[in-house]
Structure 1
């Protein structure tokens, strides 16, 4: 497998790191356009309480961590992975992300990994944890070649003042701890576990939930500590705090973090850490590309009556290799098309001028989605020299399925009010005119073209420059 990448931050990494992240959609921004993941909901118990979490079940319309429609046994999980791997041949990663904590359910978690390692040897294995039990299980993770671990860490305040506002209690060594003492124990265990993972060559992605008024000003300190430890990637996740979700923070009136708040904190944290900016805060039973969820297609009844022998045929290891070889060929040519486009922030512009550009995509790194069916936009910052990906922004409804009695463009304009351009595969005259009145230029001339190269061309056109960047 080629590990080449047009992303400068990835291209200069050691080859063994490039190999680990190359087809992992969470750890590689480039891979998330092409490779799918599956989360199996095999770990129901949790050993801490978070004020932003309410682990509800059977919530098929909710896309947020801790939510699942059905829990599985390790055997059912392995069967599901094999069935989905046959249907979705771009599947490259199995993750255990709850609905509780993977390491609070160690028997189920590691039995699942044991079965999948045997039955689907080409998949990468990863897990998500709050880190409380992480030091205890690093050796077990090494045993099963689990080399990607996500740790949610929201504070590095050793006094426990910030953490105690986030975690009411933890359950550790058969005892419940509260307040600052709980936060201090959790932090000690998180730092110890992450250091041990790094020492054993396990890549760490740290998730931090951005909670306005609680840890928003503190997260840059978290980023500094993560860099000191050797954490690979930092993901700033905006708190989802709608009252209907029933979390303590939501009921107490702590608001959801806005796109602008997330951008500000990312800017501050990005000074020290490589950031993950394409996260979608997936469900505990997510299936498919990041940004899509096909979980409802693969419920237990689709594979329950199949034997492992049947599923081995279904999984079709050789067919999967052929499919993924074609993906790599496509990625090679896509990288060539986008070459020299991605830049660090200071290299985006020759005169300091940049704009935000929104893009509609159905995947594969192309501008290939109709404006009317968009559920989220990818947001890029761009100047006359280069571009950088910022994050995605979800909209409350698709344009073609907007609320009765209101212009559906209004909610979209509010979400994109700081953008100047929208690049889309197709858009009707009415929404295009409405966007123009709001100061947003919708451009469909780059339909089915590579995203990154097109963002730069469109930005240069916006600045009345030749679309093509001159060769150095």
Structure 2
């Protein structure tokens, strides 16, 4: 049986609001993606501090070596997570890695992030490998709004654009969330807040995912880049108002560090990524979506 939401509040840095001083390691084993978010800029570098960025890509077997090194440096690590730098379910590498973690590091909490396009059809595999915590990025539950945030999806080898692609994505996200939640796995939902596009839609997202079984909601302010580089970054008042509206339906997470896809250590306290990956430059703060 997976850890419950209450269990994770004591052992997972995201769910405990970083008050539990738990550590985590993100394993960058997922290279590609299957949707076209208008605000996403995935890259390999040593500098930026945001999701979608890592110093290198790992093979599943290499991830075990990295975990061993990380635990020596930071025994507080309780969570092994995979959040990119691409989409975790677009290839088999993430689930292969979690199978190896289940065998070699059974004490670690297994945490995965996904855009949810393949969530419903991969749900049985997710349950089978023993994922404890699943994050799904849901930026809209209305296809017209989603199409303004996402250009296309690649689904079973076919490209679907605009509202058609958005409809497929949302349907699979919501069906997948329900199936995973019904299996007892704790679900966090992320939404990238773009005030002029989904700002008035946050309450609908929160209500919908809560009814499907999600436990916690993370509203992340847009950093203007890529196709949405001309959009204004949300003001603090806009972020707070969105979180307040969402909190009528679901617990709201307010301490997101928007970690790299290869982050290692205790969020906000210690980071050992430079030592593990021998990064050339210390990481700077250029936050983006999570």
**TM-score calculated relative to the size of structure 1:** 0.57
Matched with 2:182 is: 199
Q: After TM superposition, give the deviation of residue 63 of structure 1 in Å.
A: 1.1
Gaps of 5+ in 2: none
Gaps of 5+ in 1: 1-14, 302-374, 376-393, 397-472
Which structure has the larger Rg over C-alpha atoms? 1
* Preserved contact between residue 57 and residue 70 of structure 1 (Cα < 8 Å): yes
Q: Secondary structure at the match of 2:80?
A: strand
Runs of 4+ in 1 over 3 A off after TM superposition: none
Q: Does 1:297 align with 2:275?
A: yes
Change (3 A) 1:395 1:64: closer
Matched with 2:200 is: 217
Q: Secondary structure at the match of 1:213?
A: helix
- What's the Cα RMSD here? 2.0
Q: After TM superposition, give the deviation of residue 212 of structure 1 in Å.
A: 2.0
- Give the alignment of 1:422-461 within 5 angstroms: none
Match of 1:97 among 83, 95, 119: 83
Provide the rounded CA distance (Å) in 2 between the counterparts of 1:139 and 1:236.
Answer: 28
Q: Does 1:230 align with 2:213?
A: yes
Provide the rounded CA distance (Å) in 1 between the counterparts of 2:109 and 2:218.
Answer: 20
* Preserved contact between residue 24 and residue 32 of structure 1 (Cα < 8 Å): no
- Give the alignment of 1:325-404 within 5 angstroms: none
Further displaced range: 212-221 or 31-40 = 31-40
Matched with 2:16 is: 28
Provide the rounded CA distance (Å) in 2 between the counterparts of 1:182 and 1:227.
Answer: 24
> Alignment length, in residue pairs?
280
Choose between structure 1 and 2 for higher RCO, CA contacts under 8 A separated by at least 6 residues: 2
Q: After TM superposition, give the deviation of residue 300 of structure 1 in Å.
A: 7.3
* Preserved contact between residue 26 and residue 32 of structure 1 (Cα < 8 Å): no
Change (3 A) 1:209 1:93: same
Q: After TM superposition, give the deviation of residue 173 of structure 1 in Å.
A: 1.3
* Preserved contact between residue 34 and residue 289 of structure 1 (Cα < 8 Å): yes
Q: After TM superposition, give the deviation of residue 33 of structure 1 in Å.
A: 4.5
Q: Does 1:190 align with 2:161?
A: no
Greater fraction strand:
2
Provide the rounded CA distance (Å) in 2 between the counterparts of 1:82 and 1:300.
Answer: 16
Q: Does 1:77 align with 2:60?
A: no
**TM-score calculated relative to the size of structure 2:** 0.92
Summarize deviations over 1:289-337 as a string: whole Å, max 9, x none. Answer: 1225431111179xxxxxxxxxxxxxxxxxxxxxxxxxxxxxxxxxxxx
